[in-house]
A = this chain, B = another copy of it.
């Protein structure tokens, strides 16, 4: 169990991005566990302005729209202590997005994808409130606007093609429950797109709704987000 240095405000399914109240939580004592309740999940993220968990440190339990407003110029390493988060290339939750599940991220390589274009620092963060590894469901469609061949998915697929999906693209998606990460290439590589049941009402009808960095319908693997 996570012994948090504050009274947690429980993360409930909502359309906004802020899940918990107090932020940042400075100098919290370290505990290595997660806290789940009947209503939701506590989120807790520690960021550092130097690699390998060095330098200035700030802790978050809710979304951070711009790291510079929290007295940091950059984030070069981080630890996800509780919950699942998304980190963004730019402030205001823009640019490339990176799924951050529990664990240690000592430098950019540990959160980045395999793209030639490196994201060496992160500028905004938010918890993923709807992540529910055990009860996740997404329907993928062959074409945009929920048209064409469709397939309901409840498990992880490192290769959609191996499971019978006919192409390298997904036209649109509806997230019925939980949160998902879709990847451009097989084996969870390339651009990442976080899809949540409580954003856009779970509807992602065109790649332009997948994120500000999306430029193609290409999706070759996808998986549930783990809390």
Contacts and interface: CB of A to CB of B under 8 A. Distances in A.
This chain: copies in complex: 2
Nearest to A158: B226
A105 B183 CA distance: 13
Contacts of A188: 187-188
Interface of A: 32, 34, 80, 99-105, 108-116, 118, 156-163, 166, 168, 181, 184-190, 220-221, 223, 225-227
Given A102-B186, A185-B103, A158 B223 contact: yes
A100 B161 CA distance: 12
A110 to B, nearest CB: 4
Contacts of A160: 103
Contacts of A157: 226
B226 A32 contact: no
A186 B114 contact: no
B114 A80 contact: no
B189 A110 contact: yes
A103 B186 contact: yes
Given A113-B114, A156-B223, A157-B226, A105 B186 contact: yes
Nearest to A227: B162
Given A113-B189, A156-B156, A158-B225, 11 more contacts: A100-B187, A103-B159, A103-B161, A103-B162, A103-B221, A104-B168, A109-B189, A111-B114, A112-B189, A113-B114, A162-B227
A85 to B, nearest CB: 11
A101 B162 CA distance: 8
A140 to B, nearest CB: 15
Contacts of A116: 109, 118
A159 B108 CA distance: 17
A101 B159 CA distance: 6
A188 B225 CA distance: 12
Nearest to A188: B188
Contacts of A158: 101, 223, 225-226
Contacts of A109: 113-116, 185, 189-190
29 contacts: A34-B162, A80-B159, A99-B187, A100-B186, A101-B162, A101-B186, A103-B162, A103-B185, A103-B186, A104-B185, A104-B220, A109-B113, A109-B114, A109-B189, A110-B114, A110-B185, A110-B189, A111-B185, A111-B187, A113-B189, A156-B223, A158-B223, A158-B225, A159-B226, A162-B227, A163-B226, A181-B187, A187-B188, A188-B188
